[in-house]
Structure 1
Amino acid sequence: MPTPPSHHHSDLAPTNPFSLEPPTRWWRSWWRSLSPTRQDRLAAIAPLVSVALFLVAIAASFWYLRTEEQEREQDALIRAVDYAQQRMRLRLLERQEQIMRLARDVATEQVGTAEFASRAETFITQYPELQAITWINAEGRVIISQAAPTVPPEQLHIAALPLPPGPTFDVFTAIRQQPHSVYLQPLARTGMPVPMLQLQVPITAGTRFLGTVLIEYSVDNLLRYATPTEVLSRYTVNMLDAQGQVLSNPVASHTQPRLSLPWLSFKPLKAYTIPIMPVGDSLSMSAQAYRTSPGLVGNGLFWLVGSLSVLTAWLLLGTWRHTGKRLRTQEALVAETNFRRAMENSILTGMRALDLHGRITYVNAAFCQMTGWDEAELVGQLPPYPYWPKEEQNSLMLKLKDELSGKTMPGGFQVRVQRKNGSCFDARLYVSPLIDAHGQHTGWMSSITDITEPNRIRAQLAASHERFTIVLESLDASVSVAPLGSAELLFANKLYRQWFGSQTGGHLQLLQQAGILKTSPQEDDNAISLRPKVRNKNAEVYWPELGKWLEVRSRYLTWVDGRLAQMVIATDITARHLAEEQAAQQAERAQTASRLITMGEMASSVAHELNQPLTAINNYCSGMLSRLDSGSLTESQMRFALEKTAHQAQRAGQVIQHIRSFVKRSKPNRAPAQVEDMVAEAMELANIELRRRNVRLSHHIAARLPPVLADAILIEQVLVNLMKNAAEAIDHGGRPEGQRSVELLVRPKTLEQRPGVEFAIQDTGPGLPPQVLERLFEAFFSTKSEGMGIGLNLCRSIVESHSGRLQAQNLYNGSEVTGCCFSFWIPLADPAALQEDKDTHPQQ
């Protein structure tokens, strides 16, 4: 309600607003004179005006202080860049002096290419800014170049090649005319490798120019290692070329601040550039600093006023953000708890937690599934636990005491666990302490893994290993394993230990006697070097100490520790060796019997062959007696008759001698034999049978055939049998007179890269049917009713014992069979092969 006017005037009459009263009393009077509406407006506007004036004052103060601080920072930037330039100049001069000393050593021939490479590598390793050091001769050809691994391949200087045309070669030409050290900074171009600062130091001997030493600096490394760390940490530093192009990556530790008010923006200070001496204007250092703060860190009043100005606004925002963070953290905690719970329930390892008194405080689903007990039945239980077997409770209680006292083994320990249904399984228990958020020890966490199946597999492996050992110990062969180059015996079975003891001597001797392993002395007289030599066939050796023949086999294997080892298996083959000797004797008897059978079949022909000279001798003797009786025998006629008689007697003797040589029993004796002699002997014996059957025998022997390694009698037997069979085939085939011929061809032939001689017997008989060709060389198979079936089989055995091949094929004229051809091949005589044959048959 408004005041009555009379009363109002009575209060204000004595008041004079312009009187000299105290200011507070004047302010109070003026405020009371305002209406409530104006008072509310002023109350709302006054804080805004005061805040605005405060902000203006703060902005003005900040602008003034920022301007002053920029000037100080610019001065600090200039001083820092000048200091960095001095450091870089001293570093370049120091490297230049070192390279000049290297050039003087090269000029005085104190340093060769090897020493130059070594010292250059030392410089490059010791000073990271050096990228390459190259020695160039007076003709501009690169002698040697040593570069850091980081230099791109296209910037490498290849030895023995001249410098390519370009700025480097131009500088080299200038130095050759006026020797002095010159720096060169190539321009940076897009798409080209990062340029490097080059320095060429002349190599001179007196007035004679010998070349230059080219040093290439990495501009990045020069900036990084030559610039002081405090400069790089405060400013953005670049290296510029003569055109102002950036040659290096900027190095700076500060970034643009987040605050970006129009009146509070942090603009970079003016860049300061200074040339690098002694390079000159072609290389400059440029530095620039960013103001990361308004420079009022030390002004506590400024930060106090600013903080109080925004405190009210930030309190509500900060509280709201804090509340939101707490809600998000709580949600993340719940999600993490659910995730860990799901992970624990999904694993197959049982988890159990105990407190310090042994009470179960937690079990996971896997533990409940293992034991069959529910979580409610287990949590809160004290020992003895329901999953302990009754017969093992005492031992498990002792282990629990050790667990609660902290005496746990890192690898865990094995326990027996009883399920709810009464069955048991093996488990391995691992224990670790439980530490809460305050670092207090609150209990123990145990993880349990079912190891019943691994234990079963381990037991099976042990049983398998035992069976394997029993088998090896029971073998009738000696088995030993030893690493290469060592006298250690890794394994030896029972029979090896019985024969050779428990040392590697028997192992190595078996290898040496078998020719699988040879030893050769090294520089050290007490050491031997083992060099393996692998054979394609098993070796047979005779062991005098045992009186046995042993078959030695060897193979290489990787032992369990990764070493290369050699296993040797020695089998007793004494019985087999004796059987082979007996078989050889039986084969020899069979060969003799075959020759006797052949001569028996040829008996009539031999008798007819002997009948002619005997008849002639009888006729000559009878004629001489008749003439003696008549007295008409002259001395010349008697001489003629006696010469004829002696010739016929010699002919009969030769026939008998050939037959005796062919049928007599003798030991196999392979030796170099002349092909012509063997063929002549065989043809003389076979020609008797062929003439009896009215078959013509012709032959062709290649000239200058070398000797072959063979038993001449056995090869003659093969030739006689084949030629006789050819004559019988012609006779049984009923061939006419013009088609009854056998031809013997002897010619050189190389088979499987081995030179040898081929013997081919071709006839004009009816040939061989296909079913006969398939079984031709089988034992006791014959196409003749009176045949024994051992002739061709024996012939093949004889040829194969000479490392040869025997084969048969029909001869055709178009589709008509015109005969058959038997051919065999035996190798030429070779001294090495002859020696090996003697080694293989020591008793022959």
Structure 2
Amino acid sequence: MHGPFRAQGWRARLLPLGWRRWTLWLLLAALVLVMLGIMVYLAGRYEASQVQSRLERDTSDALSDIRGGLTRNVQSLQALQSSNPTPSSWTIDAAEMLRQHRELMRIEWRDAGLHTLAHVDTPYRGKLFGRSGAEGPGGRDRAQTDVALACANARRFNGPAYSSSYFVPSSDGLGLEVIEMCLPLISSGRIAGYAVATYALQEVLANLVGRQLARSQEISFTEADGTRLALHGSARRGVRMFTAQQLLDLPGNTLVLRLDSWHSAPSLFPNVMTALVTAMAIALVSVLVLLAKDTRRRLAAERDLADALAFRKAMEDSLVTGLRARDLQGHITYVNPAFCQMVGFSAEELLGHGVPAPYWPPDRVTEYEQRQAIRLAGNVPPREGFESVFMRKDGTRFPVLVIEAPLINAQGLQTGWMSAFLDISEQRRIEELSRASQERLQATARLATVGEMASLLSHELNQPLAAISSYATGSMNLLRHQGASAPPDLDMALRRIAEQAERAGRVIKSVHDFVRRRDQAREPVAARALLEAIMPLVTLQARKLGVRVITDIEPGLPEVLCDRTMVEQVLLNLARNGMQAMEPCELAQRVLRIEARKAASNESSGWLEWRVIDHGPGIPKEVGEQLFTPFFTTKAEGMGLGLSLCRTVVEQHGGYLGFEAQAPRGTIFSFTLPVKKGPSPEAAVAVAVTAAV
């Protein structure tokens, strides 16, 4: 079920991918349309800028024409005074000038006090200021202020000056907007009079501006606030108007020259470039349509490929076998999740990694590098695989079964190596458990045999021991009848024989009870009594091995509650082991020390501690791990049951048997026993566990 679910996940991811692709196509089409619109808009803006530029140039040309005409008029007025004319001759010349310059409405000759000496009006209009220069509502007196101001500016500038514009009504109800120009007349370095010319602003536009400008545009004079003073020309009306304005800066007055041009809306394709862009956009849209059809076919193929990839990915992810691919240089190119989980490294940490691999144990890097060099040389490994050891990221090691094969591409060429890995830790654990179980079964069978042998021996040895004890007792009785003639040493030897025979009987009985799991009879025994009971045997063994025995019994020790015979055997066994451990040492170093004292850590609980200290070579770590295991022994003639039985006896008393290293050399075996007034059995077990920890 894992593979189909993964395939459905791939389909679920492909659906939004398809929608994203269609969205991208729609965005591309929208971008093309927007670009087309922007190009048309920019083309229109470009055409409008061209029209505006031409209008600005026409305005500059018109302004130049007006200035040139006004300058020529000033020169003509100066020419009227060049020959010291009389009023009559001046009138004739001024009339001729007015016939040639339609923009001039009136010319006056005034003296230095601004009194009129002579004047002439244009022949193309009626008198501008009525029949008399000082009569009527349009009389000349109304303009005296403007004339005086213009002449004052002329004196200051020492040249022509212009007044502000003003409106002069006419009898037809239309009227004119005029300005006054005052030109000072210089004679012998002094102002002898003034020539005053009155301009009609509309006639200035009609006569001083080129006629070609007025055919397609409206030309006007305006004030700074936009009030129109004079207008000339008639432009064709359109949907869009273009305007250009420039200042006509005259001495004493400033006018605004304005040109208005009306144009129709720019055409859809104002130039060839826009048409070409439009054609390219249409072609691009056609290509987009074809690409959309091709994309649908590609999406179907990709969907099928994604399903196949999803199925393969699902199979790879569901494998418990680790997979790894390497190129011909030994770099990792692929790992599956099972391999990453096996070694504890992520795929990002492994991909591209060469030798040494991060999961190789440091002490085996050289061996693995040699093996990889052989593999990269082209030697095909066995198909059944080989075992190796890897190391996880946390440092733990585990065995693996490696199966490698050449990685062949679609062209039949080898591009690397493909490896499969099986974690055989569980298999090894099961094998180890099986081996341990077999060993335990064998140990149990051997223990059962030993128990049967112990029971048989205890039964068979009881009668010989009883006979030895009887013979020893009878011999001592015979010696007593002989009186003083009996040797004292012989009596002592017979007494010892009888005691050891009885002790052997008690040992056999205790072992018999121990094997049959009967409750042992415990009695309060003094520590010194336990030690004295085994000292004859310890002394014999020490004399034989050349060992010096030192005993140290702390005074005032309480009695211990124990099975005396079994505890004596524990002490005797530990003492013998200590003396045998010192056989390789020099005679001066063969010292065995037996101590009895209150347990330091359990003094308040009432425990007594025995310590057997030797000065042998010590116990290696690997031997110490199995020292109390049944049937484990380092002696050629040993059975490996002594220390195991000693620990069992001590633990049955609630105590703890252990060992530690002795500085500078040697080993200390120690065990604890409860005193006569010791704690309850439950407390004793708890204390024993604490001591063990």
State the TM-score, normalized to the length of structure 1: 0.26
Higher relative contact order (CA 8 A, sep 6+): 2
State the TM-score, normalized to the length of structure 2: 0.31
